[in-house]
Structure 1
């Protein structure tokens, strides 16, 4: 979002503020201000469309992008851990079978 921001005073009921406090982390927002700004943009977009169906697919795409981005990051970290474990197993197998680097290079030269 735009970094050129200005301070505004907004009065909210305790119930509305409680909803903000409990929900902003669920939407992957780092601040309550970010959550409120996203809510305003969503509702304004909803009001400006004649049919909500034309607006919801774009919102769904944004939500899916956020969720899939988090999933991709998590899968990347897990794949890295898997590769490290696989490398350790390969080193242990090579040590137990007394395979040396020069033996591997000779085998590669034959292929």
Structure 2
């Protein structure tokens, strides 16, 4: 999964989501892509061996498809780590984004 594909899925799932780059620093001058709608929904980070999709309030979201596979012990957030060759259930991912937006609006 590329960052561009993740970005496209996020923006497509919730048209009123706002994308921004935050947390710019010397080692990452482009910053971290963040997606917000009435609060932070998720971030997309690129590492050498993976793309990490972190949901700010992931612990409070239903994940019947079992997409979350990282930060499972975190108090509030949950993440999806994708490595080269991994296939993401795009329909379930889009639903997770919509649920995160709904949670922010509740």
Structure 1 and Structure 2 fold alike (TM over 0.5): no
Task: Give the TM-score range, shorter chain.
Answer: under 0.3
* Between structures 1 and 2, the one with greater helix share: 1
* Between structures 1 and 2, the one with greater strand share: 2
TM-score, normalised with respect to structure 1: 0.26
